[in-house]
């Protein structure tokens, strides 16, 4: 890969540092897509060495986590509760078209990762997808509840349920996050700050 191509790829990827997500951080700023992707990758790294995942290629999961939202460097982020099939298609086509211009061996590796992530058949792909969902829930629990939309009170408890079912650890993680969410909502209700309607 030439230095010029290397820098051009990084220039496009840098859009994730400024493209924001729906969620607010605890520092009273919108979360960037890069904030999210970084922590999803960190979550995967923290699972390395856990017995339940000893047959999982954690390095591959980390790679998936790092690149999973790079399509949003072209389209920006659309919140899950607003995202349509055409939004997903546009993002996927932009990402695939970008990767098709990569030199080898990066092009083949990234296409392989993208195909595996889309099919969601391997343990690695299932783990990446679950962590992607769980990180969003954790981030929302960290945000001030005044930033939540009414739809998020229920969504926070239903989002990622299916993805968490593939392992005992991820089921426990989802249950723990749900406990935190319920307490956050109860505290907001007690303080008269809940806006579920």
For tokens 């493209």, the residue is: 19
CA–CA gap between residue 178 and residue 11 (Å, rounded): 37
Identify the pLDDT of residue 136: 94
In tens digits, the chain (197 residues) has pLDDT values of: 888 888 888 888 888 888 888 888 867 788 889 999 999 999 999 999 999 999 999 999 999 999 999 888 888 778 778 778 888 888 888 889 999 999 999 999 999 999 999 999 999 999 999 999 999 999 999 998 988 888 899 999 999 999 999 899 999 999 999 999 999 998 888 877 766 66
Class assignment of domain 3-190? Answer: mainly alpha
What is the C-alpha separation between 77 and 15, in angstroms, rounded? 11
DSSP assignment string, 24-49: EPTTSSEEEHHHHHHHHHHHHHHTTT
Distance of CA 125 to the CA centre of its chain: 12
Nearest to 130 by CA among 169, 74, 78, 100: 169
Q: Which residue, among 130, 128, 97, has the nearest Cα to 113 in the 3D structure?
A: 128
Rounded to two decimals, the pTM is 0.91
Two tokens at 158? 């239903």
What pLDDT is attached to residue 191? 79
Question: Residue 21 belongs to what H/E stretch?
Answer: strand 20-24
H or E element in which residue 122 lies: none
């Amino acid at each position: 890969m030439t230095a010029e191509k290397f820098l051009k790829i990084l220039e496009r990827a840098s859009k994730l540092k400024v493209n924001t997500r729906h969620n607010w951080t605890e520092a009273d700023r919108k979360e960037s897509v890069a904030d999210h992707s970084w922590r999803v990758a960190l979550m995967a790294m923290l699972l390395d060495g856990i017995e339940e995942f000893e047959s999982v290629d954690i390095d591959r999961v980390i790679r998936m986590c790092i690149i999973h939202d790079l399509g949003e460097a072209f389209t920006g982020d659309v919140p899950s509760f607003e995202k349509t099939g055409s939004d997903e298609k546009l993002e996927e086509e932009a990402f695939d078209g970008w990767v098709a211009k990569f030199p080898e061996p990066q092009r083949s590796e990234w296409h392989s990762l993208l195909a595996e992530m889309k099919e969601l058949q391997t343990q690695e792909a299932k783990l990446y997808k679950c962590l992607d969902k769980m990180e969003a829930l954790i981030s929302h629990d960290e945000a001030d509840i005044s930033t939540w939309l009414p739809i998020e009170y229920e969504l926070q408890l239903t989002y990622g349920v299916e993805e968490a079912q593939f392992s005992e650890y991820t089921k426990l993680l989802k249950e723990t996050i749900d406990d935190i969410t319920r307490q956050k909502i109860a505290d907001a209700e007690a303080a008269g700050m809940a806006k579920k309607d």
